[in-house]
Chains A and B, each alone.
Chain A
Amino acid sequence: MSLHNPAIPPHNEAQIQNDWSMQGKIESRGAAIWRRYRKNKLAVIGLIIIVIYVILALAAPLFSDYDPEYFDLMNSDMPPSFQHPFGTDSLGGDVFIRSLFGARISLSVAIIAMLITLVIGVAYGAISGYFGGIVDTIMMRIVDALQSIPSFFLLLIIAASMTPTMWSTILAISLLGWMSMSRIVRSEILSLRQRDYAAAALATGESKPGIIFYHILPNAIAPIIVIATLEVAGNILYEATLSFLGLGIQPPTPSWGNMLSSAQEIVTLTMYPWTAVFPGLFIMVAVLSVNFIGDGLRDALDPKMKDK
């Protein structure tokens, strides 16, 4: 206390005691992340919207007696009404119900594809960063080459090389996404490898793979989570685009993309715009919310990454 700046009035002992006891309550890591996340209002809104989406998708059968693959041809192209809140499409399918079931398909495709991407990308990046040298050069050159193919061409070619089903769509999307993930993992490993704790682990006799998996990867988790979240947003768009072009989910199974596809004819678009507007809004709001969540997570997980 002798070094106390005279300009600041000294605290009394009780006050200091109190301050210290406050400090003693160490905020858990999860709580700190949640506190920072909460500050980003858009991220909170995005999270709420996605939770609503998931609930709607899971509870879709409860909302209506209409089957998503039941087509009431007598009531086709009906404008939005009390019975059919989003109207009906040209085959008499209920747009609202089909959108809800579409959420099931679209969200699960996006999330499963992200998980596959995560596994491939982390493994590839870790191997590349771990071996270094010529292995790294060759592995990264391959990624360079694949990334030079305009990604959409690659997506189309992969999707076209399989009979379109839900799983072929997932595979096509995940074969596209792992490259950027592996790049991030690799660069994180290369930079974290230089840290003192990695050297310390090496000095204690830990094996190199052990260091990568127990010390380095856990520290690289923040950027990986952020990229994975943003990838879900991208995957929803990819799935929608593939299905729109007829290479993804095939009707009558509803997906937001193929619902728009059947609404793209000029006549349908002019006369029955709701068949295009509502599925499109579903896609847009979902992607927007996931992007907000990713942005919020970036700020919350690693404050240093802000504004990059």
Chain B
Amino acid sequence: MISLQPPAISIHRGRLPYLDRNEGCSLFVYILRRTWQTIPLLFIISIVTFALMTLAPGDPIAMFQNPEGVNNADSLETLREDLGLNDPIYVQYLKWLKLVVVEGNMGYSFADGRPVVEMILERIPATLILMGTAITLSFLIAIPIGIFSAVRKYSAADNLFTFLSFLGISIPSFFLALMAILLFSLKWSIFPVSGMRGDHTDGFNFFDITYHLVLPATVLAFGLIASLSRFMRSSMLEVINQDFIRTARAKGVSERKVIMKHAFRNALLPIITLVGLQLPSLLGGALIIETIFAWPGMGRLAIDSIFNRDYQVIMGITMFGSLLVVIGNLLSDVLYAVVDPRIQYGKNG
């Protein structure tokens, strides 16, 4: 069975059409086109989120309710009118859209009247630090494991790693976080229980933040290590069976060099795209981890605003989160097109 077709990269099924469809264009035009495609995407996301949120039975006004007073019904009604909550849903949505598109403003929090953009921007760095560290950490650990498992396929160590990776995707992150706190913070007092800074440090202190980062980043990385190492293993196995590896071995290249130079580089390519695909779940994981470790990122803000029905903040966070994911996907696709000459964004094929 000799196939004349270039090897299909199975992991990418369903994503390459973006590349195939653009005939005869430069990388720059390709990036422009992909960016253009994200606009309707963000549009649909905003409609869905807004619709779901306003369907909610709760009422953002409820938190202003005076616990003992029944007589503030009038003032609450005025507040509703002021916040535009009495308008039909589509009018509320169009108002929001106008605010975002025309003024580049995402509205104001119902809870404390602060601009949503400001609230999110001050939370984003912490989330990015946490996610970035987790991604780096999982790459550093998962890639060697994947290579090792592929080279020693079905060995005892490979089976152990297989089992561990199953464990990694099966353990709920909040349970892992609680156990990590129980052992490393409460029992052995090695790492702090929560937060991003110590009590007596202010401003940016690299070592302090790193010290606080160890537990949440490791817990967040755990699941990613599990899935990345599996993907790396199957990607390596796919490459190792190809003709050029046999050629390299046949001409006497040392096994170490075959694996580390010829196979590894080619196997790494699909993994780049995978990280883009993993971003949404990683962001969701970060949200829970942040809540448990009181990490001052977007997670706590998201949960609080969902409980308070603070529509504007929820909209803002969801849009920022989706934008992050869309940019991540775009970057990984572009990166992939740049590093892999077999993918031609210019012509079909």
Which positions in A face B, CB cutoff 8 Å? Answer: 42, 141-142, 144-153, 155-158, 160-163, 183, 187, 233, 237, 240-241, 244-247, 257, 260, 263-264, 266, 269-270, 273, 276-277, 280, 283-284, 287-288, 291-292, 295, 307-308
Contacts and interface: CB of A to CB of B under 8 A. Distances in A.
A270 B52 contact: no
B280 A245 contact: no
Contacts of B175: 240, 260, 276, 280, 283-284
Nearest to B237: A307
Nearest to B44: A145
7 tightest A-B CB contacts, nearest first? A152-B284, A145-B44, A280-B175, A288-B170, A287-B170, A161-B56, A150-B280
Interface in B295-343: 302-303, 306-307, 309, 314, 317-318, 321-322, 325-326, 329
Interface stretch (B71-79, B86-94, B113-121, B161-169): B161-169
B45 A148 contact: yes
Contact of B172 (A162, A264, A280): A280
A142 B170 contact: no
A131 to B, nearest CB: 17
Interface stretch (B209-217, B243-251, B285-293): B285-293
A161 B50 CA distance: 11
A283 B167 CA distance: 12
A269 B325 contact: no
B41 interface: yes
Contact of B306 (A145, A156, A240, A280): A156
A151 to B, nearest CB: 6
27 contacts: A42-B163, A145-B48, A146-B48, A147-B280, A148-B322, A149-B49, A149-B280, A150-B322, A151-B284, A152-B280, A152-B287, A153-B287, A153-B318, A153-B321, A155-B284, A160-B306, A160-B309, A183-B14, A245-B291, A246-B307, A247-B306, A260-B178, A269-B178, A276-B179, A287-B170, A288-B167, A292-B166
Chain A interface, >50% SS class: helix
Contacts of A148: 41, 45, 280, 322, 325-326, 329
A150 B281 contact: yes
B106 interface: no
Given A148-B41, A245-B291, A153 B170 contact: no
A273 B306 contact: no
Contacts of B292: 264
A284 B163 contact: no
Contact of B303 (A156, A240, A307, A308): A156
A241 B40 contact: no
A163 B14 contact: no
Contact of A152 (B45, B163, B285, B326): B285
B283 interface: yes
Contact of B174 (A156, A246, A247, A260): A260
B41 A145 contact: yes
Interface string B58-85: 1000000000000000000000000000
B55 interface: yes
A162 B56 CA distance: 6
Nearest to A281: B175
A295 B45 CA distance: 33
A284 B287 contact: no
Given A183-B14, A240-B172, A280-B179, 7 more contacts: A141-B41, A141-B44, A142-B44, A149-B49, A150-B325, A152-B287, A266-B193
Contacts of B13: 187
A246 B55 CA distance: 19
Given A153-B284, A287-B170, A269 B181 contact: yes
B297 to A, nearest CB: 13
Nearest to A142: B44
B48 A149 contact: yes
A129 B288 CA distance: 36
B29 interface: no
A150 B321 contact: yes
B271 to A, nearest CB: 15
A266 B306 CA distance: 24
A269 B49 contact: no
